[in-house]
Structure 1
Amino acid sequence: MANVERHIQLAPDTYRIPDAEAVRRHFEEVLADGSKVLISVAEVAGEVVGMAELVLLALPPDHQILVPRRAAEIHTVVLDGHRGCGVGSTLVVAAERSAADRGISIIYAGIFAPNEGAVGFYSASGFGPRGILLSKEQEVPSVG
């Protein structure tokens, strides 16, 4: 939830404030399961100041032309006041180690272009472009 305000300021038409209860349930479920999402946290003086969420992706289906490789998406959050101190970089390194231990050879950091801070952060951590994701918004007829 600490990350919401920053994203809404970047692109209010793209981001929203999720229900806090839904966020809590999500993390309870992934922590209980542990097979699809790996979470690393950073603490300073007993307070959680950052986290990296590594979402494990399914292998491409047999009918696709992509070479099957284990992959994951990473989402990193560091609280204001702790950014620029190495917390995020440490979390990414821990996530990369966890991924490698599970045979994951590709980590994606999906970032919307207006989030220049995140682009810079992940670029400094060795992430680079891998293809281009194009999108097109379309009119959706109202149901009623």
Structure 2
Amino acid sequence: MTVVVRAYEESDHDDVRSMADRLTAGVAPWRDTEKVAGAVRSWVVSSIVAADGEDAAMFVADVSGVIAGFVSVTQQPHWSGEVDGYIGELVVRADHEGCGIGRTLVAAAERWARERGLARIRLATGAANQGALRLYDALGYEQEDVILSRAIES
């Protein structure tokens, strides 16, 4: 299987949007599923729009004419004041998981950040998204911040 990673093109729009719901994996079970789905769809559209600028990009993995995944990357300030690369979304179609496409897309995002002189790249994923956590661990990503939440009884 040959994977070609290339910049997002307008003709990829429907394929990329059709994968948005995969971004709901690992979201906390107490979150409203309809609101979560709406939010991830909005993120993807925002990333598509941002990819036209200089401070963001979107790459797709093309496998024999099938868009098998995508990654979005931006420059984002860290709270320390440093500017990092930031992977906003990484999605691989279910029928292409385990083929190295996620690794290849992350490498494209890292290359984009490196070309801009950025020293680090960050991302966030759902705490229960074990597949993503395993991938990021295997790629050398380290836990930096942890977000905790608690229900407030009324």
TM-score scaled by structure 2?
0.70
Deviations 1:66-85 (A, max 9, x none): 3x422122121000111110
Mapping of residues 89-108 of structure 1, within 5 Å: 89-108=103-122
State the identity as a percent. Answer: 28
Whether the 8 Å CA contact 2:86–2:121 is kept in 1: the answer is yes
Give unpaired runs (5+ residues) of structure 1: 61-65
Matched residue, 2:69: 50
Aligned pair 1:70/2:83, yes or no?
yes
Structure 1 window deviating more from structure 2 (105-114 vs 16-25): it is 16-25
Mapping of residues 1-144 of structure 1, within 5 Å: 1-4=18-21, 7=24, 11-14=28-31, 15=33, 16-18=36-38, 22=42, 25-32=45-52, 34-58=53-77, 60=79, 66=80, 68-74=81-87, 75-138=89-152
SS in 2 for 1:18: helix
Aligned length: 133
Separation (CA, whole Å) in 2 of partners of 1:30 and 1:91:
18
Deviations 1:56-99 (A, max 9, x none): 21364xxxxx3x42212212100011111011101111110110
Cα offset, 1:24, TM superposition: 6.9
Going by fraction, where is helix more abundant, 1 or 2? 2
Give unpaired runs (5+ residues) of structure 2: 1-17
Separation (CA, whole Å) in 1 of partners of 2:44 and 2:68:
17
Separation (CA, whole Å) in 2 of partners of 1:56 and 1:18:
24
SS in 1 for 2:82: coil
Whether the 8 Å CA contact 1:69–1:104 is kept in 2: the answer is no
Whether the 8 Å CA contact 2:71–2:106 is kept in 1: the answer is yes
Whether the 8 Å CA contact 2:85–2:121 is kept in 1: the answer is yes
Separation (CA, whole Å) in 2 of partners of 1:22 and 1:132:
24
Change (3 A) 1:102 1:49: same
SS in 2 for 1:103: coil
